[in-house]
Structure 1
């Protein structure tokens, strides 16, 4: 499988230009804000969200100036939600770096998140990109609803597969869906093409989250601590499937372990072993491939070219990654 640098080769120049513009879009007259936003830019990840935006635009007519604004809008609003999430979760690390709240405390982190949100809104309003703003704002709304639904689900220890898919569709898939829809909408694409790309992104996002949830029950060093979801009492697809395969007594016992012994390493390992013994990870991987294949079917309705190939490789990268 090609690495991320190889995948983005057809849009490498656009990504480089985007990084410069994204940095400029965060500029402030307040020195503290500039210091913090510089820190944020320095620790940006693989730029997969902008890649989805640019590849989608390239597939649907070509990358234009509005595409760059769409990519910046997605990144600004997403970064704002991450900064706020770290405050809510009391998280002091993100991607191996200190979080904003760890370095500058909660009050400043919340204000920085608000600032990034406002910069994203103004970027769209000042350029009359209301169609892009609508797409991304709807995604942020869904992400918030998904988070709240998950909180409620954790409290009730809900073990419904249907509810699991509702949560990840809103919480994770809506963002990737907005990236692809934004890319298409920044061009002269038709409403039908924009909706196709939105659905493509949603399917990819679901596959991505299922893959992420399997790491909790792995046996190798995958970069995500084993049992982290269990510690947070998150009921994910591998666990849901395993619970639905056993009798009521065993099911009750495992749910009790998740609810009341989720900080005991031996009990966590017992839950992991239970899930693997009942083929929870195998089932989740099969479902992930189903969503991946549905995404590929949508791509097959578009003409061949490096944009289509890039998206295919990007999908495979998200579902075949080791961490």
Structure 2
């Protein structure tokens, strides 16, 4: 049921994305959005090619769906559909830049954007995607107070996102002083940011009260953390999920499972795992050895239970803030689906 609901909503999101950013840009679109630009539409189309190369590969589109549900659950708002492209475009921009920073090869089953267009194009396009949504916000008919709140929200969350990504880079580049608590903080900033942004945007445009905005933001942040934990799990358990199997080990990432080994493993196993992570290896034998160390300490089950517990606790805090409705039921099912997904 929910799977079909998300698929239908993903198609709706795709329609809104193309409505805002056509696959073929004409002079009218350029004039409406970039009146100060003096070149022709041909150059602009070339600049947008990497964006659609990535967007057309699919993706779950769950962040705009979360935004719409959070708006509906507090009463709804007529303007929310206009903001659908905002978080999805920003999200895909972060993927483009993240793949360069992680030296990744595969994204959604195909070569990463920087492998096709070059690192310079991927970095520039990814950064452009952080700002393209402001074209929507500039034009949307909102009162000044609400529009300012939207600007402030996006700016604050984008700063947190960069801090979270910086923490991740620091650790997989050999940085020390990592713990489970700091890992969860990194996830809250990195993966939780766009989920939290989505929820709060929906709540703002649905005229939620302050308590509801805070509770929905925290719940969505937790979904983001749980989503990242599930990503970590899939990276070492599912060879068919659209990225390179064991890529996190190749990148030297300190996933929750790796941290658990470093906290609970014996000295020999801790030392060996750190050794493999520092190699940044693509050797299948070494990747499997690292996964074996994680399995030795039952870290995959530990991570799974951790994600489920985080979502349960966050839902308990949210439950009392919102009235019963079909959207509320979908919101809970939505969270459970993301935590238990296999791709």
Bin the TM-score by the shorter chain.
Answer: 0.7 to 0.9
Cα deviation, 1:221-256, whole Å, max 9, x if unaligned, reads 555443211111111111221232233233223322
| 1:292 equivalent in structure 2 | 311
Q: Does residue 67 of structure 2 align to residue 53 of structure 1? A: yes
Please give the alpha-carbon distance, in whole angstroms, between the structure 1 residues aligned to 2:109 and 2:333. 26
Residue in 2 aligned with 1:6?
A: 5
Matched, 1:211 2:224: no
Q: Map residues 105-120 of structure 1 onto 2, 5 A cutoff.
A: 105-120=118-133
**Are residues 159 and 265 of structure 1, via their aligned partners in 2, closer, same or farther at CA, if it must alter by over 3 Å?**
farther
1:140 aligns with 2:138: no
Residue in 1 aligned with 2:195? 176
The answer to whether the 8 Å contact 1:161/1:240 transfers is: yes
User: Does the CA contact (< 8 Å) of 2:2 and 2:330 recur in 1?
Assistant: no
Alpha-carbon distance in 2 for matches of 1:189, 1:197: 10
User: Within the alignment, does 1:96 sit opposite 2:109 as a pair?
Assistant: yes
CA distance in 1, matches of 2:104, 2:14: 30
CA contact 2:269–2:293 (8 Å) conserved in 1: no
User: How many Å separate the matches in 2 of 1:150 and 1:194?
Assistant: 28
Greater CA drift, 183-192 or 70-79:
70-79
**Alpha-carbon offset, residue 175 of structure 1:** 1.1
Structure 2 residue corresponding to 1:274, chosen from 272, 293, 306: 293
Aligned to 1:84: 97
Q: CA deviation at 1:204?
A: 0.8
Aligned twin of 1:130: 148
Question: Is 1:192–2:211 an aligned residue pair?
Answer: yes
TM-score (norm 1): 0.87
Q: Do the aligned partners of residues 152 and 49 (structure 1) sit closer, same or farther apart at CA in structure 2, a change above 3 Å counting? A: same
Residues 99-153 of structure 1 show CA distances to partners (whole Å, capped at 9, x for unaligned) of 4333333333333334333322232234352212222222211111111111211
Deviates more, 1:243-252 or 1:200-209: 243-252
Name the CA shift for 1:234/1:115 in 2 (closer, same or farther; >3 Å): closer
Alpha-carbon distance between aligned partners in 1 of 2:293 and 2:266, rounded to the nearest angstrom: 13
Match of 1:283 in 2: 302
* Change in CA separation of 1:145 and 1:16 when aligned onto 2, cut-off 3 Å: closer
Q: Structure 2 unaligned segments of length 5 or more: list them.
A: 31-40
Structure 1 residue 219: deviation in Å? 6.5
Mapped to 1, the partners of 2:10 and 2:116 lie a distance apart of 32
Separation in 1, partners of 2:317, 2:12: 25
The two structures have a TM-score, normalised by structure 2, of 0.83
Structure 1 residues without counterparts, runs of 5 or longer: none
Structure 2 partner of 1:32: 46
Aligned residue pairs total: 320
TM-aligned CA deviation for residue 161 of structure 1: 1.2
